[in-house]
């Protein structure tokens, strides 16, 4: 297919990108926009390392064509907080030491953000269900759940 110019709204800013419309969104985010937070894991939408928010919903970006996202609001981990002022979710993950290697954590944070945006007081079961498409091979699941619970409490305060 021939390249097209698409406009993507990422972290509140419009970006014109020239690409094959079938290119996975993840590749555009990482290679064209230099947003390295979403990561390539499995390439099949099964591990969640590539999760971003699209119109507030968690979406795995590794196998979704960029053309599906033209005109939609895309939020990556870079669009949450900063090193100086982290988002409450990011701070909770730091406080709970919920990341061991850190590879999966950005996708998990984005899935948790999607949950907390629609359900600010989730139960443990609801948190687990919301994160079911995110894999962590380091075994920090208990700390991840505690971090989401901590963030929910902080955001409610």
Question: What domains sit in the chain, N to C, each tagged with a CATH number?
Answer: 4-79 (3.10.20.30), 88-156 (1.10.150.120)
Q: How far apart are CA 39 and CA 62, in angstroms?
A: 8
Q: 73-75 and 4-10 as β-strands: parallel, antiparallel, unpaired?
A: parallel
Q: HSE (CB half, 13 Å, CA atoms) of 138? A: 13
pLDDT 10s digits, 22-70: 999 999 999 999 999 999 999 998 899 999 999 999 999 999 999 999 9
Q: How far apart are CA 94 and CA 68, in angstroms?
A: 33
Our separate counts of H helices and E strands in the chain read 5, 5
Q: Is the pLDDT reported for residue 103 higher than 90?
A: no
Q: What is the pLDDT of residue 118?
A: 97
In this structure, the number of other CB atoms found within 10 A of the CB of residue 23 comes to 18
pLDDT 10s digits, 110-157: 999 999 999 999 999 999 999 999 988 888 899 999 999 999 999 998
- Quick one: 149 exposed, middle or buried, by C-beta within 10 A (0-12, 13-18, 19+)? middle
Q: What is the pLDDT of residue 1?
A: 65
Name the pTM for this structure: 0.94
**Residues ≥6 apart with Cβ < 8 Å to 17:** 5, 6, 7, 8, 28, 32, 33, 66
Q: What is the pLDDT of residue 153?
A: 97
């Amino acid at each position: 297919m021939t390249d097209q110019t698409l406009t993507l709204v990422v972290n509140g800013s419009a970006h014109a990108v020239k690409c094959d419309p079938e290119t996975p969104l993840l590749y555009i985010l990482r290679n064209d926009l230099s947003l390295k937070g979403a990561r390539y894991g499995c390439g099949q939408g099964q591990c969640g390392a590539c999760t971003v928010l699209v119109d507030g919903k968690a979406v795995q970006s590794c196998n979704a064509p960029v053309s599906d996202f033209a005109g939609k609001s895309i939020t990556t981990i870079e669009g949450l907080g900063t090193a100086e002022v982290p988002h409450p979710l990011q701070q909770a993950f730091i406080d709970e030491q919920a990341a061991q290697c850190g590879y999966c954590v950005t996708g998990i944070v984005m899935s948790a953000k999607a949950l907390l945006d629609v359900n600010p007081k989730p139960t443990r079961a609801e948190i687990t269900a919301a994160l079911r498409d995110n894999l962590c091979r380091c075994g920090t699941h208990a700390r991840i759940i505690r971090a989401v619970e901590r963030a929910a409490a902080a955001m409610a305060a």
